[in-house]
Structure 1
Amino acid sequence: MNVLVYDGPGASQTSVSLTLKSLKDLLLPNYTVQTISPQTLATAPWTANCALLVLPGGRDLPYVTALGPSNDKIRSYVRGGGSFLGLCAGAYYACKRVEWEVGTPMEVTGDRPLRFFNDVGRGCTYPGFRYETEEGARPVKIQLHGSDSEKQPFIAAEGLYYNGGGDFVNASTTPNIEILAEYTEGDAKGKVAGVFCKVDKGNAILWGIHPEYSLTEQPALQAIEKAQPSIMQGQVQTMEKARLDLMRDTLVRLGLVLPSLGAPQTIRPLPQFLVSAPSKSASLSTSWNSILDAAGQESILKDLNDTFVFHSPASTQAAYRDALEAASAPECEHRHIIGHTDGSSPSSILTPSFNITKYFEALEAPRSSHSEEPEIGEIMLFGEIVTSTQTLLVKNSKFMSLLPSPLVSLAAQQLSGRGRGSNTWLSPPGCLQFSLLLRTQLRSFPASKLVFVQYLFGLAVVEACRTESILGKLGEQVRLKWPNDIYVLLRDGGMKKIGGILVNTSFTGGTIEIVVGCGLNVLSQDPLTSLAHIASQAGAEVDLTMELAAASILSTFEGMWKEFVEGRGSFEPFMDKYLERWLHSDQVVTLTTVEPHIPVRIVGITSDHGFLRTIPEEPGRYSHRGESFIDLQPDGNSFDIMAGLIKVKT
C-alpha cells in the first residue's frame, strides 16, 4: 500500500522533504512512501492502493488551481473509506472556507472544495509570518485531548514547529469533528490546533502546526533555540519523543499499521550469494570463472550502475565487513558477490529469511526428468538485503552478460524495488521478490511476441498458487488483472492486489535478454493482503513457506516457458487458461478519450500482438480504422480497469 505526499504548485519543498522523511521513519517497511504530482492525482488510478494521502504545508492559494482537476477524486477517495492528512496549508485547503491574514496585504479568503472540516480555517494564529522566511516561525505548546473511549487526561506537547498555521473555527459545534489539540499560549490560548474529521466512511486529520518537522533538526531546532537560548539537548530530545508519539497517534487514528518500535532497520545492502543446485555446480563453476576473468586480479567489475566485488566463500567475513563499513562511507559502497561453485550453500545464519537448501530440495521434487543444463531456478543469486533485484540486472549490462541463464535473483528485502512506470514496489517481510534472467535467440523468437512474456509469467504464478505446495484449492481465489498484476478475491466480495510483474528486454547481437521481475505477498501481515490471508480466512492449515512458493512458481513456469519458446512465442496454447484466470471477461469499461465516452465490452486478447480486444456496446460504433472492435495496447493506455475506465493514448 502507498502513502502519497502531494508535490506540486503550492507545496513547500521543505515541508515535502520533511514529511517524506518523517513518514518513512515511522512507516517503513509496512508502506511505501512517495510523492504524487497534481497530474497523476487527476489522471492515474492511485486510489486503489493508497493507504493515506497527505497534503503538506506551503501555500493554500496555488492548491486551488493545481488540485482543481483532482478534487472530485480526492473527495470520493476519502468518503469511500480513504484517509487524508492535511498539514498547515494542506489543512487550510481541506476546510470549507479559508480566512487568512484578513485586512493585511497578504489576505487570502475564499471557499474551498474538499470541506473535510465543514467550517472556517482561520489564521495566522500567531503573528509575524513572512513568506519564504523563518521570521514568523516559533515553537508552540499544545494540549492534546484524549479520546472519550480512552478516558485519558489531557497531556501537553511542546516545542512543535509553527509557521503560519491556523485554527479551526467552531470545531466544538461542527458535526462529525473531534478536537485533537488546542493552543495553550498567548492570544491563541484555547484555539483549536488539530481536528479529526469523520468524512462518510473515511477519515481526515488536519493540523495547523507542523508535527512532521523533527525538533532535533533545522528549521525547528533553530526556532526552539531562538525562543530558549539556554535549552539543553536532553530537553529537546524529550520534546522530540513527544512529537514522534503525536505523529504515531495521528497515523494510527487514520487507520495505518505501524511497525514495532524496536524493529531493526538495516539501511545498506548485504553481500549476495551465487549458488546452484548441487547437480548444477559444474555449470556454475564455468560461469564463475568467466566472471573472475572479466573482473581481473582485483576481482572488481565496474559497471554502468554498480561496482561489483567477487569473493570466494573463504572471504565471506571480509565481504560482510566491507559491506557494513559502507554505512559510514556510502561513496565507497560496492555490491559484494560470494560464489559457491561446489554445490554448497551459505550458512543459514547468513540467510535467516530464506533457506536455500530447502528451496533447492523443493525445486527438485516436482521434476520428473532432469537436464544436464541448468533449468529455471537451479542457479540463484540470493541476498538478504539488496537495492533492487531488477535494477542489479537491468542497469548493469556487463555483469548481466556474464551471468548464466536461466538465473533467478532473489532477495528477502529490497531497498528500492521497482514497479511499473515510476512506481516503487513495497518490500515488507513476507513478500517474495525476485527477478528471472532468460536468454533466447531472435532468429527463433519474434520480437513482437515478447509482450506475451508478462502474461505467461502471470499465468504461471496463478497456476502455482493452486498447487498443493502453496494453497491447493484455495488458490482458485488468486486471479490475473490485465496486463501484469496479481489479485486475490476476498470472501466479502472485494479484491486486493497481492503481486505484480515487470518485464525488461534488451538485445545483444542476435540474443534477446529478458528480465522478469515479480513481487508476491506470500506471508505478509496487516495492512497488506497476502496468500497467508487466504488460508487464514478459510481457517485452513497450510504449510506455506517462501521457499515452497518460489520453487513452485519457477517450476511451473519452466514447463510453460519451454512450450512457449518451442512455439516461437505463440500464446495460443495458453490463451484459454489465461482467460479463465483473469478478472475481465465480459467486463464493460469506458473509453474516456473520446466524446461522447464509449462503453466497450472486453472480449479477450489478440493472439498477434497481445492487445486487449474490446467491442463497443452501442451498435454502429467503430474504431478509427472502421473496425467493429477496438484494440488497446498494454503500454499505450492510461487506465483504471478495475474502476471501469480506460483511456487510449493518442
Structure 2
Amino acid sequence: MEDRLWLDNGLVPEKIVSVLLRESTLKAFAGRSVLIRGAQAETRSLELQEPPEDRSLFQSPCRASEEGTGAAIGSASGQDRGCPPADAAAADAGLDGRRRMGAGEQHAEGCHLHLSSCHECLELESSTILSVKFASMENIPDLPDDYEGGRGESGGRSVPGQGRRFNQKPPNVLVYTGGCQERFKHVHALLAECINTDSYVLYPLRPQQVLSEPWLDSTLLLVLAEEEPLTAQHHERFLAYLERGGKLLGLCSSFCAAGLSLAPGPDRRNGVCQLVFTRADCTEVELSALASGHVFVRGDSPAEMWGELRGGSGGMAVVRMTHGDNGGEAVLCQVHLEAAPDSHDVTSPQDFDELKASNALRYEVLSEILSCLGLSCERSHVPPPSPIYVLSSSEECRRCFLEWLQTQVGQGGVLRASRISLKVLPGVESPGALPGGTLALVTQPPQRLPPQFSLETYSLHLRTRTLGRCVLFAETTPSTMDLLEGLMLQLPQEVGLIAIAARQTEGRGRAGNAWLSPLGCAMFTVHMRVPVSSRLGQSIPFLQHLAALAVVEAVRTLPGYEEIDLTVKWPNDIYYGSLMKLGGVLVNSTLMGATFHLLIGCGFNVSNSNPTICINDLVERQNRQRGSALEPLDTSLLIARSVSLLEDLIASFQDGGPQAVLPLYYKRWVHSGTQVRLQSEDGPQVEVVGLDDNGFLQVRSAELGVVSVHPDGNSFDMLRNLVVTKQR
C-alpha cells in the first residue's frame, strides 16, 4: 500500500496504520474541509487507493491496538486455505490471503481507514508516523525507466486486481533461473500466456545482478524457477525483497522462509504426481503435474497450504506465506507448474498423455496464483478488425469475383449483409474510421502479407477444381462465417470463395458455442453448392463428417506423418486420439430452389500448443519417440490440403454414396465398439456400431436393436463415455 501512494514532493509513506475516529469527534468536525498547504504541512491529503493486498490494514482498530501496530501485515494463522473459519472472529482475521474487504467497508460504526500522513488524523488522534523516507528512484539497469503501462487511471487510483502501482517504477516481473537462458525462455513464454502483457514486462534476473543491482524497489513480482540450492547471500537478498513488501512466486525453488523447510516427497523427481489445489472459493481441483521430489514441512510456520499431493503419504506442495511488516507475500510450489507436457523431462507417452489432459488446469491454477499475487491475468485487449484482402493464384478467378462484386456494391461503395457490411476499397491505403459492423474489403493484394498466411504455399498445395480458388484473407476478423454469409447466395457458380483468418474475435462453434481462435489456429470458411437431388444433397449431415475427415487426412497422408494420432469424433470434432479435442467443423445450410448453399466452417490447432494441444505437438512427440526429423506443419499448407481432400471426398460420395467414404471414416474415428448410455447416466447401455445412410450415429442394444442418434440432440462426453443432450 505504501508504495502505491505518491506525494507530489517525492515522498512516500513508509508505514500506514489504522486510526479510530471517535463518533463525538467526527460529529464535531462534520463538514469541515481540511486543506493542507504551505508551511502548515508538507504533504497533501491523498485520495485513497483501492484496498491493498494486506488484509490486516482493514482489521478493527481495537484489535490492531491489542496486537500491536508492528504486527506482520497479512500474516497467516496457520490454518489451511481449504478450511473455512470456525467463527466470526476467525473470519475477521482474514485466514485466506485472497479474500479481501472492498474499499470503504467498515468493521464497526465509527471505524474508518485513515492514513498516518493524513493531517486530520495527526490533529485528532496523535497517530504515530513511523517514518517518511525519500523514495528511491533507482531502477534495475537495462530496464526501461519510462514504462507507463503500470500507471493507474487519472488521480492515481490503482485498478483492482491488476496489480498496478501509481509510481514511477516500471511494473517489472523478474525471473531468476540461475542463469539458464533456456529455462528463462520457457518460463517467459508461460507467464506471457497467463498475464496481461500490456501491463507488465518480463526480464531475466541473472545471478550477478542479484547482489549488485538495485532491483528490489523496481520489481512487482519475483519468480524463482531454479531447483539448485540458493547461495546464502542470494537467499538473504530474496528475503530482503519480501521484507520490503515484494511478491514472490517459487517454482520448485529451494527458497523457504517463515519456518518452512523442504523434505523428500513421496513422488520421484520429474515423475507425474496428482496435485489437489484449493481455489479461493474453497473448491478443489485435481490435476497431474511433474513432481520436484520434495514437499514442504511446516514446522512452526504459519504458512497456508494451498495444494497437497494426493495418495501415499501426501505432502504440502503449494503454500502461501507472508514475511516482514510491509506486506511481503510468497506462493511457493514444489510441483513443476512451469513444465509443459512436451518438456524434455517427460519421457514416456503415458506421462505425456496424462499431463496434456491436465494442461488447461495447469494454466488455471497458475493464473489463480498470479492473480493472488496482484497481477492481472485478464486477456489482453482484442485487436480491431483488419482489412480483408482479395487474393488468388488465378488472375482469372480473381477478376471474375471482382466483376461480380462491382454489381453488388451499393451507395458509398458498401456491400451490406445480415451480420456485417463490407466497404469496398480499390487500393491498400488505410480505410480510416469505419462505422461499427463495417469492415474494409481491399481489392488489391498488399505488398506483404502477415506471416500467418502464405499465398504461395496455399496455392502450391491447392488441387481443387472450384473450392477455395478465391481467397478473402484477414489477419483479424470477427468470424470467417460472417464474411461469407452475405455473399454466398449471389456468387457466380465458378467462384469457389474461401475466407481465411489468422485470428477470430467472435468465432462460433456448434449450438452457439464460442470458438477460441488464437494465433496458430487454422481457421477458414468455404462456400459450396450441392444439388438437392444428388446423393450428398439427400444426406447433408454427412458433409460435416467429410470435412472433419479431410482435415485428418490432410495430415496423415503426408509422407512421414501417417502415424500422427489424429482422429475424428462424431459428429463434428477433430481429436488427438480419444483424449482431447483440437479442432471442429460447423456447417450452415440454406436451401434456394433445388440447391443447397453450404458454408463449411473449420478451425483446428496447428501451432498453438496451449491451453490444450496442437498438431505440431504431435509431430514433435513423434520426432522424440522415433528419432525422426519431421518439419512442423504450416497453417497455409494444411488449409489447402484440407480443402483439396474435402473436394475429393465429396466427389467420391456423389459417385458411390456413403459406402464410398465410410471405410476410411471408420479407420480414423474413435468410436468403434464404444459402450455408451443413451440420454442420461441411467439410460440404456448401447454399443456404437457406425453411421446410417444420413450420417447419424447408429447404436445397438439387446432391447432396442439398432437405432440412430441425431447429432443435433446428443453429443459425447469423452470423459464419461456418455451420450448426453447438448445444452443450448
Which stretch shows the higher mean deviation, 146-155 or 632-641? 146-155
C-alpha distance after superposition, 1:437-494 (max 9, x if no partner): 111222446755111000111111112212237x53234x2111111111123xxxx7
Report the equivalent of 1:614. 699
Deviation of residue 548 (structure 1)?
Answer: 2.1
Report the equivalent of 1:533. 617
Q: How does 1:51-200 map to 2 (within 5 A)?
A: 95-99=82-86, 101=88, 129=105, 151=235, 152-153=238-239, 154-155=241-242, 172=303, 176=316, 178-182=318-322
Say which of 675, 685, 692 aligns to 1:588.
Answer: 675
Between the aligned partners of 2:367 and 2:666, the Cα distance in structure 1 is 48
Report the equivalent of 1:26. none
The alignment partner of 2:676 has SS state of strand
Between the aligned partners of 2:574 and 2:303, the Cα distance in structure 1 is 46
Between the aligned partners of 1:166 and 1:130, the Cα distance in structure 2 is 23
Deviation of residue 399 (structure 1)?
Answer: 6.5
Say which structure is richer in helix. 1
Partner AA of 1:551 in structure 2: A
The alignment partner of 2:83 has SS state of strand
Structure number with bigger Rg: 2
Between the aligned partners of 2:99 and 2:636, the Cα distance in structure 1 is 57
Deviation of residue 209 (structure 1)?
Answer: 12
Q: How does 1:248-647 map to 2 (within 5 A)?
A: 267-278=383-394, 281-296=395-410, 298-312=412-426, 315-317=427-429, 321-322=430-431, 325-326=432-433, 331-332=435-436, 334-339=438-443, 346-347=446-447, 349-364=448-463, 375-394=466-485, 397-398=486-487, 401-402=490-491, 405-444=495-534, 449-468=539-558, 472-475=561-564, 477-489=565-577, 495-539=579-623, 540-543=628-631, 544-566=633-655, 570-591=657-678, 593=680, 595=682, 597-607=683-693, 609-616=694-701, 619=702, 621-622=703-704, 628-647=705-724
C-alpha distance after superposition, 1:375-431 (max 9, x if no partner): 22222111222211112223xx35663476432111122222222223322223322
On the 8 A contact 1:387/1:415 being kept in 2, the answer is yes
C-alpha distance after superposition, 1:227-251 (max 9, x if no partner): xxxxxxxxxxxxxxx843xx56xx9
The alignment partner of 1:380 has SS state of strand
Between the aligned partners of 2:707 and 2:561, the Cα distance in structure 1 is 37
Between the aligned partners of 2:100 and 2:436, the Cα distance in structure 1 is 48
Between the aligned partners of 1:463 and 1:208, the Cα distance in structure 2 is 39
Between the aligned partners of 2:654 and 2:664, the Cα distance in structure 1 is 18
Deviation of residue 197 (structure 1)?
Answer: 10
Judged with a 3 Å threshold, the aligned counterparts in structure 2 of structure 1 residues 193 and 352 are, in CA distance, closer, same or farther, namely: closer
Judged with a 3 Å threshold, the aligned counterparts in structure 2 of structure 1 residues 514 and 183 are, in CA distance, closer, same or farther, namely: farther
Between the aligned partners of 1:129 and 1:167, the Cα distance in structure 2 is 23
Deviation of residue 638 (structure 1)?
Answer: 4.7
Gaps of 5+ in 2: 1-78, 115-157, 166-219, 248-279, 284-297, 306-314, 338-354
Say which structure is richer in strand. 1
Normalising by structure 2, report the TM-score: 0.52
Judged with a 3 Å threshold, the aligned counterparts in structure 2 of structure 1 residues 562 and 448 are, in CA distance, closer, same or farther, namely: closer
On the 8 A contact 2:544/2:585 being kept in 1, the answer is yes
Judged with a 3 Å threshold, the aligned counterparts in structure 2 of structure 1 residues 413 and 536 are, in CA distance, closer, same or farther, namely: same
Normalising by structure 1, report the TM-score: 0.58
Between the aligned partners of 2:100 and 2:382, the Cα distance in structure 1 is 42
Between the aligned partners of 2:455 and 2:638, the Cα distance in structure 1 is 13
Between the aligned partners of 1:167 and 1:127, the Cα distance in structure 2 is 23
Between the aligned partners of 1:306 and 1:137, the Cα distance in structure 2 is 52
RMSD: 4.7
Partner AA of 1:465 in structure 2: V
Partner AA of 2:476 in structure 1: I
Deviation of residue 612 (structure 1)?
Answer: 1.5
Judged with a 3 Å threshold, the aligned counterparts in structure 2 of structure 1 residues 180 and 146 are, in CA distance, closer, same or farther, namely: farther
The alignment partner of 2:512 has SS state of coil
Judged with a 3 Å threshold, the aligned counterparts in structure 2 of structure 1 residues 185 and 592 are, in CA distance, closer, same or farther, namely: farther
On the 8 A contact 1:100/1:122 being kept in 2, the answer is no
Between the aligned partners of 2:518 and 2:547, the Cα distance in structure 1 is 22
Deviation of residue 642 (structure 1)?
Answer: 4.6
Q: Percent identity, aligned pairs only? A: 25
Between the aligned partners of 1:463 and 1:137, the Cα distance in structure 2 is 66
